[in-house]
Structure 1
Amino acid sequence: MKVFGIVGKSGSGKTTLLEKLIPAIKQQGISVSTIKHTHHQFDMDKPGKDSYRQREAGASEVLLASSSRWALLHELRNEKEPEVEELLPHMTKVDLVLVEGFKFHDHPKLEVHRPAHGREPLWPGDEGILAIASDEKLACDGRVLIDLNDAEAIADFIIEHLQLRTEK
């Protein structure tokens, strides 16, 4: 599976871009899944539910299944946070995995950057950031600049960079 990252500071619009990017990539016949990183504690489960109670009792993993989806909850229990390479084998094989976050990982990335937010960009310190998606014209130190509102152009950049079109 090919991996490409979408990075940027909090509130820059990464998830909004992914909502547009996924259908633009799928429209070109490429299967796609995502991995989302968060720095916050999260829980998909609800206190009182059977699966929550089983995890609280000490189960390492709880798999929930229904007729419409399944989810595997894996408790780290003081283990280190997994890297992208450790997570990928748990996913069904697809052509492309888009990774939101994991901004310090070494896979190729595109940064979502909005100068109006007043935050410093990530790309000056990360050679893995190959392109910038922005809503303003920027000097990007030789990196590709793509209009943040043009999901098809961003999809084309990722597909061409990863040579996914030639593999189909």
Structure 2
Amino acid sequence: YFQSADGARNLDKWKLKVPILGGILQNLAVARFCRMLGTLLKNGVPILQSLRIAKDASGNVILAEAIGNAADNVSSGQSLAVPLRSSGQFSRDLIEMIAVGEEANNLENVLIGVADNLERRTSRRIDTGVRLLEPLLLLVMATIVTFVIVALLVPVMTMSKNA
């Protein structure tokens, strides 16, 4: 099912809605898109062609659809920030950065900077999550070991009491 277009779309929509993990996955996908688009623009590839290439770099069908729609609107003369804002898939900060980059004619450097920032922020969130998860896993392991010890000692105590 997830290999079909509808299945992949539903899976990616679900991934973006999962608490905590959804934000991390979205940040990583947007960072990939921004880095790819910024690199293509920096190397002189026209924006429409760059958008069509970079949309697949996101690795998320929902974001790729929004980027594809943005490419269609850009080809009709609209700025990139407007259709991305209307898609609702990108943060307000990212949209503002793109708008400023377009106005300053420095979009490629802005996109690469945004990608760096998103990657750093996401890396910190993952590190924090792992640090918070370690004590929780230790507690779970201690509980399991306690149950195993109790499960072994109760029959021994019962047998020694009966003997």
What TM-score comes out, normalization by structure 2 length?
0.28
The structure whose RCO (Cα within 8 Å, separation 6+) is larger is: 1
More helix by share: 2
What TM-score comes out, normalization by structure 1 length?
0.28
